[in-house]
Structure 1
Amino acid sequence: MTSIAFQGQPGAYSDLACRKAFPTMTTLPCESFEAAIAAVHEGRAALAMLPPENSLAGRVPDMHALLPKSGLSIIAEKFLRVEHCLLAPPGASLATIKRIHSHPVALGQVRNLLRELGATPVVEYDTAGSAEIVAKLNDIGDAAVASSLAAELHGLQILRRNVEDEAHNTTRFYVMAKNPVVPAPGTPHLMTTFLFRVRNVPAALYKALGGFATNGVNMTKLESYMVNGTFTATQFLAEVEGHPEERKLRLALEELEFFSTEIKLLGTYPADPFRLAQRGD
């Protein structure tokens, strides 16, 4: 089995990320995050590659809601620099473009281009889908903002690359599998992702997190969200550097457990080279 599942249409940025990270695997497009997770459980894919966050758009709420019950383990992280391309049918040029189709988030990231060309933004359901629509329209007045892969799959020409307003647009992906693949303790540059709920007592979160500070564990992420639509039960997603069996992180998790009603490890995995480069390692 050599397939890797992602949410979206062929040519989506998630598809491109899968192909870059796992060039020997076949990508499996899925309509939803749930469908991508199910593909792994059902054996139609060995892995799923799903995005928890983007540097411009922030976290992906659907992913955070699905993580606790996904039944999958995080075995790696990958980062993709999002490079928007302006795609159009053969024969089109920058001078002929009147309408630019794409997902609303992508359109919000190419305001300078829209202003320069005087083009009308046309909202579509996703970037790869916008490329498919422009290919079917086959009108030199229509263009799409999507990936270079979408251009290749739909027979469109790339009028301009890197049309995004901000150069730091990057999406992070979790690589998820049915069974955990845990590196050995002592392996350098490891990340651990986990969920927890604190007890309903004063200063519980403050006390729960104290163990990470006193044990010298670097926490790179802490996010909260409601559980089951209630306003009284809050769940936290945290990411730290290190291995749960290493002394510093083990002691920190033991202290966290004392003030928590539930702790669920989602995975321990190598930090991506992009992360290491960002922090200068």
Structure 2
Amino acid sequence: MLTVTPLKPEFGARIEGADLRRPLSAEEFTVMDATINRYGFIVIPGQDIDDDQQMEFAARFGPVDQTRATVDVQKQRLKYSAMNDISNLDEKGQILAADDRRRFFSLGNRLWHSDSSFKATPAKYSLLHARSIPPSGGETEFADTRGAWEALSAEMQAQLRDLVCDHSLIYSRAQLGFSEWTEAERRQFEPVPQRLVRRHAESGRIALFLSSHIGRIHGMPTPEAMMLIRDLLEHSTQPCFVHAHRWAVGDVVMWDNRTSLHRGRAYDDRRYKRDMRRVTLLDVAPTLEQEAA
């Protein structure tokens, strides 16, 4: 029997009583699916699972994104190429050197973002499992973009409803001064268009589709566009919309990228190992092919 405990009135929930070492029952799946659709993200503590079990659990909720978006992808330490290594470890399991290109690139995870918004078909869910964590820091913060939309004035909602933004990893990393891209990476990370405002099919609620990956708004001068995005990010990440998750080993956190933002927080990545593994699920189609809000 699963127990669901909300973390905020309409955002985030903790689910206890699950054992992800075995396949979900139909009843367990129904509870988890309904809970994430209502609350945007779920925390499932105490899961001693391996890569196979994490992949099997993720695939129960939809098709797994088989492509990873990172640099130096040939240096892979995980079993599955579709599993994202959200860690500070090299291919030998050692802490990355201070000047390692992969370390600089991964600092972008500390910007507010939605996973894979820079892909033509963006992410639906992400599932992150904690294998080892530092003694302090390294929390993940989540922001409720449905609640943020609903708190906007009707005038602002009307202004935003039909806007289309270009997303790219190049845009987000540029905010950190990361500019050393190979030609293959530049081609891989060419900007893609996404709606700024989306309707969440399962709940019927509307959400802002924000991300640090946004670099342009169609039909708007870039400085004006980026000021608008900054204003919306500040609005959406006010404390009333945010929950900070403090990790414990074995936690699985699953979030809906269509209705939330997230970011990692700082920790001493030069001293302590942090082994986190993420599986990402594909949405049904590019946002421009989905029903408009």
Q: Which TM-score band (shorter chain)?
A: under 0.3
Instruction: Decide which structure has greater strand share.
Output: 1
TM-score by length of 1: 0.23
Instruction: Decide which structure has greater helix share.
Output: 1
**Higher RCO (CA 8 Å, separation ≥ 6 residues):** 2
Larger radius of gyration: 1
